[in-house]
């Protein structure tokens, strides 16, 4: 179990109303399917597709719409990676947009992206998490993300989910991050960070990068020349 974080690493933000989106995990009967059409395009849907010639349908989850990435089968191959150095700053505008829209620290969104995909928008994990913030198909449906490989949609969807988690866990940074990895149900069940090696390592990764990005931003502000008024 990770030691409690010092107060500066915690953030407590006021609850933000997110329309009709529920903070409660979807019902256990929610199923997610992918199907490949005759042109080879992959689609994600909550309804099974039948009677369409040339389609291949796969059921990829059942009753696990809480964001958890612990699946039992591989569903997608790893896609080509973007390893260009420019990728680290390519999405700054959308990170700022997500932070402003959902009242989150920019550094938190950036830290999650760093640990999830290292700023590669095309990466797919062996369990099917997609894009910059590695959103699972079930979570994409919850967050109304139509294309998880679109960087802006992915970032805004991931930020929206972080805000829901922050509301659920009263702004506790560690629990918010743990919920992003393991699902909010697991955090609620254990009343803290779940005892999963992956989740505990993930929390450490995000918190470490959050501190680094925060410190870098403070240092940048301190080195900026002061504005002089006539």
Phi and psi at residue 43, in whole multiples of 5°? -125, 150
Q: Please tell me the distance from the alpha carbon of residue 205 to that of residue 200, in angstroms, as a whole number.
A: 9
Angle made by CA atoms 129, 15, 201, in degrees to the nearest 5: 40
Contacts of 117 (CB under 8 A, 6+ apart): 123, 131, 132, 133, 134
Core vs surface per residue 112-149: b (16+ CB within 10 A) or e: bbbbbbebbbebbbebbbbbbbbbbbbbbbbbebeebb
pLDDT value, residue 135: 97
pLDDT category at 81 given cuts 50, 70, 90 is low
pLDDT category at 74 given cuts 50, 70, 90 is very low
pLDDT value, residue 28: 32
Core vs surface per residue 86-99: b (16+ CB within 10 A) or e: ebeebbeebbebbb
Q: By mean pLDDT, which of 66-70, 71-75, 80-84, 99-103 is the weakest? A: 71-75
Share of the chain above pLDDT 90, in %: 55
Name the DSSP letter for residue 85: T
pLDDT value, residue 87: 78
| Catalytic choice (106, 107, 116, 184) | 116
| CATH 1.10.530.10 location in the chain | 7-28+65-223
**Over 50: is that where the pLDDT of 214 sits?**
yes
pLDDT value, residue 121: 93
Contact predicate 107/210, CB 8 Å: yes
pLDDT value, residue 32: 41
Tens digit of each residue's pLDDT (9 = 90 or more) over 115-167: 999 999 999 999 999 999 999 999 999 999 999 999 999 999 999 999 999 99
Contact predicate 161/68, CB 8 Å: no
Tens digit of each residue's pLDDT (9 = 90 or more) over 12-63: 444 454 433 322 333 333 344 444 455 544 444 445 555 444 444 444 333 3
Q: Is 174 a catalytic residue?
A: no
Q: Please tell me the distance from the alpha carbon of residue 230 to that of residue 227, in angstroms, as a whole number.
A: 10
pLDDT average, residue stretch 212-216:
93
pLDDT value, residue 82: 64
pLDDT value, residue 78: 41
**pTM (whole model) above 0.85:** no
Specify the CATH number for 7-28+65-223; select among 1.20.58.390, 3.40.47.10, 3.20.20.210, 1.10.530.10.
Answer: 1.10.530.10
Q: Please tell me the distance from the alpha carbon of residue 9 to that of residue 121, in angstroms, as a whole number.
A: 27
């Amino acid at each position: 179990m990770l030691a409690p974080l010092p107060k500066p690493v915690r953030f407590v933000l006021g609850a933000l109303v997110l329309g009709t989106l529920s903070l409660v995990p979807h019902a256990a009967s929610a199923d997610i399917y992918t199907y490949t059409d005759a042109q080879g395009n992959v689609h994600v849907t909550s309804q099974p597709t039948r009677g369409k010639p040339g389609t291949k349908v796969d059921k990829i989850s059942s009753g696990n719409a809480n964001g958890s990435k612990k699946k039992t089968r591989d569903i997608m191959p790893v896609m080509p990676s973007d390893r260009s150095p420019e990728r680290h700053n390519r999405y700054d505008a959308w990170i700022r947009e997500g932070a402003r829209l959902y009242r989150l620290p920019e550094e938190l969104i950036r830290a999650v992206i760093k640990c999830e995909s290292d700023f590669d928008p095309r990466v797919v994990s062996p369990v099917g998490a997609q894009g910059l913030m590695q959103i699972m198909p079930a979570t994409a449906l919850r967050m109304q993300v139509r294309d998880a490989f679109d960087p802006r949609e992915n970032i805004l969807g991931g930020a929206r989910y972080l805000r829901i988690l922050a509301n659920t866990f009263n702004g506790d940074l560690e629990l918010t991050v743990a919920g992003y990895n393991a699902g909010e149900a697991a955090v609620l069940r254990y009343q803290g960070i779940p005892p999963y090696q992956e989740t505990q390592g993930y929390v450490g990764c995000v918190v470490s990068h959050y501190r680094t990005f925060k410190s870098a931003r403070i240092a940048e502000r301190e080195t900026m020349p002061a504005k002089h008024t006539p």
